Chain A
Amino acid sequence: MKKNNTESKLRKAAQEQSDLPPNFVWDNIEEELNIKDQKRRIGFWWWGSAILIFTTIITIILVRGNQDQYLHSTNQSYPKSDKTTQNNSNEYINNDIKNSNTPNLIGTKTIEKTNKLKAANLNNKNTGTLKDQLSKVSKTKDDFENSNNLPNHQNLTITSVDKTYKENSIFNIQEENKTLSINEEMRITNTYHPLASLNINSPTYSRQLLPTQEYSSFENKKYFNPFLEYGIIAGVHALNFSKAQNHNIYNQRKESERSWYSTGIYSQIGMNIFSNWYASIGVEWTMSKSKFENRKNGITKMVVNLDPNTGSAIDTNFISGSILDKGDITLHFIDIPFNLGYTVSNNNWLYGAELSTLINLKTTAEGKLLTGSEIGTLSNGQQDIYKKSVGLGFKGSLLLGRKINEQYILQLRPSYKTYLNPISASNNALSTRYNLFSLSVGMKRFF
């Protein structure tokens, strides 16, 4: 039914409509665009840094892998000896210096090669008879001493070479129906100063039989070992409010809102990158609950008097009283942490520290309002108060671990976490910062 094209005319009229929007709309758009630009810039630097760190780690691993290969395939041109002496070491070094054309400093590199070789040799099960075990230990010691034969560097200038090897081993053995443990420490430190004093410290070696049962522990096994860690988090968070233009909001939230508890789970994978350093990446979910209780005066009851004859209202009274609003607010954070940690071990205990940079993937907030009259009413709109993603964060942790066996370490981790930016939405009058003090318990498994 098309008679006079009413709808076309309506459409034309609709397109000709023009209403001036409020000025604040563009101001808000501009502010939002500025924030997005800032985030884009931060994101660019962040991802650039992350890629750089990742590339560096991979490069270190690859280079070290090549060095190991080189060590195994090196044609050792130096004569082997059962015991390192000052004379023969000096001879090797002097030969190196004599044959060198261009500077090529070696130091830590050689030590690592040596240690790596030891790690490979020690990576076996400590089973068998006492004789077998002793044979293995002797072989290891001999290997180390023989490794004073420096790799065949064609171009070599040595200022100093420190070769240190320490091995703490506790073997659990069965010998003639008796269970015995051998607590053994082998420390060999050789220092060469070819251009100075030419000092050499002789190896020291001690072995002690203990009547206790222990499992073996090799410090050197940590090198490059990949690991998986997972655990639970418990703690308490703190919300810090900055003074808003509207002081009432600030005072009200500061007085009425209280942190309750935080909990979460985490998981990370990583590997040792140096002797005591490790790097890892993971995922972490944290949930923080706050309570609020706000008491205010207001109309609590309305009394309507009805005419008994007609049933219509003839009088209305309002009764004032105290109104109690209480409820809770739950914040959820999903973060990707990039961790760098340092650990030292003492027998079966590990101590250390860890620094983490966090990328917040998602933040969600929900609230539950419980009032005298509206029990269980869901209070929507919390997401309008808080951001959907907070951006960058940082975490510092102390580590305390206990080796359970060759593969597993139980780890306790007191931590402090904070985000660079406030968690409150940019258009929210009250700026809110989030901090978390937590204690996590996790299991670290080496592969």
Chain B
Amino acid sequence: MNNDQLILGCQRNDRKSQKILYDNYSRQMYSICLRYCHDPASAADALQEGFIKVYKYINSYNKSGNLYSWIQKIIVRSCLDQIKKEKSHFSIDVTEMNSIDHNYEIDFDFDDYTYNKVLEILETIPSGYKIVFSMYVLDELSHKEIAVLLDISESTSRTQLYKARKLIQKKLSDYSIVNTNAV
């Protein structure tokens, strides 16, 4: 069953197609949920609500777009709803910086451990930094989309991303120095 048939089946509310769609994407989407939510139970809730929305709005899916990205955006939104619902410590510093380097990116010697290290670092930085960084860098959402989803300005989103990048870069560098010294 190709993607078009799958979508058509879901649009017809065919349970078999819905199950195949879930099987195809649930693992990747659950990883996204685990990244945003604090614990596996919340991540499972977010995944569940997210997929229910996917089936609800599947009629509005534009077939020319990427299905993964479309589902991913819904899942990210569902994660944010879950975070807000649980009233976790989710705050965003709305202070904006006048002069930031928009092209600044993290630069680090990437190896097999880097991704997991970045995930560990994300858990230690302020939640606003973590969410904006995850949304922009890892999930490829634009500042405009982030601004809408988080109800902040695009400028604030850019500032948060800049600060997150700086902080993660510093922590990665510290980690590198510690490891080098250890060796």
Interface residues of A (CB under 8 A from B): 1-4, 6-7, 9-11, 13-15, 17-22, 24-26, 28-30, 32-33, 36-37, 380
- Decide if A29 touches B48 in the complex (CB within 8 Å): yes
Contacts of B55 in A (CB 8 A): 29, 33
Taking the nearest CB of chain A, how far is it from the CB of B180, in angstroms? 18
- Decide if A7 touches B34 in the complex (CB within 8 Å): no
- Decide if A6 touches B13 in the complex (CB within 8 Å): no
- Decide if B52 touches A29 in the complex (CB within 8 Å): yes
Interface residues of B (CB under 8 A from A): 13, 15, 18-19, 22, 26-28, 30-32, 34-35, 40, 43-44, 47-48, 51-52, 55-56, 87, 101, 103-110, 114-115, 118, 137-140
Taking the nearest CB of chain A, how far is it from the CB of B2, in angstroms? 21
Known: A4-B107, A20-B27. A14 touches B138 (CB 8 A): yes
Known: A11-B137, A33-B52. A6 touches B18 (CB 8 A): no
Taking the nearest CB of chain B, how far is it from the CB of A228, in angstroms? 38
For the complex, what is the distance from the CA of A53 to the CA of B14, rounded to whole Å?
A: 33
- Decide if B103 touches A2 in the complex (CB within 8 Å): yes
For the complex, what is the distance from the CA of A19 to the CA of B139, rounded to whole Å?
A: 16
For the complex, what is the distance from the CA of A18 to the CA of B13, rounded to whole Å?
A: 26
- Decide if A1 touches B18 in the complex (CB within 8 Å): no
Known: A6-B114, A11-B137, A17-B28. A28 touches B108 (CB 8 A): no
A37 interface neighbour in B13, B19, B110, B118, Cβ under 8 Å = B13
- Decide if B35 touches A14 in the complex (CB within 8 Å): yes
Taking the nearest CB of chain B, how far is it from the CB of A84, in angstroms? 67
Contacts of A19 in B (CB 8 A): 27, 30-31, 34
For the complex, what is the distance from the CA of A9 to the CA of B27, rounded to whole Å?
A: 20
For the complex, what is the distance from the CA of A2 to the CA of B108, rounded to whole Å?
A: 10
- Decide if B106 touches A9 in the complex (CB within 8 Å): no
Chain B CB within 10 A, most for which of A11, A14, A24 = A14
- Decide if B107 touches A6 in the complex (CB within 8 Å): yes
Contacts of A2 in B (CB 8 A): 103, 105, 107
Give the nearest-CB partner of A34 in chain B: B15
Chosen A-B contacts, 11 in total, with CB atoms closer than 8 Å, are A1-B101, A3-B107, A4-B108, A6-B106, A10-B138, A13-B115, A15-B28, A25-B30, A26-B22, A26-B26, A36-B56
- Decide if A9 touches B110 in the complex (CB within 8 Å): yes
Contacts of A29 in B (CB 8 A): 18, 22, 48, 51-52, 55
Task: Given contacts A9-B115, A10-B138, A18-B31, list 19 more A-B pairs with CB under 8 A.
Answer: A1-B103, A2-B107, A4-B108, A6-B108, A6-B110, A7-B137, A9-B114, A10-B106, A10-B118, A14-B35, A19-B30, A22-B44, A25-B30, A26-B22, A29-B18, A29-B22, A32-B48, A32-B52, A33-B55
For the complex, what is the distance from the CA of A170 to the CA of B30, rounded to whole Å?
A: 79
Contacts of A6 in B (CB 8 A): 105-108, 110, 114
- Decide if B115 touches A10 in the complex (CB within 8 Å): yes
For the complex, what is the distance from the CA of A24 to the CA of B32, rounded to whole Å?
A: 18
For the complex, what is the distance from the CA of A380 to the CA of B107, rounded to whole Å?
A: 44
Contacts of A30 in B (CB 8 A): 15, 19
Taking the nearest CB of chain B, how far is it from the CB of A28, in angstroms? 5
For the complex, what is the distance from the CA of A7 to the CA of B164, rounded to whole Å?
A: 13
Known: A25-B44, A29-B48. A14 touches B139 (CB 8 A): yes
Contacts of A32 in B (CB 8 A): 48, 52
Give the nearest-CB partner of B116 in chain A: A13
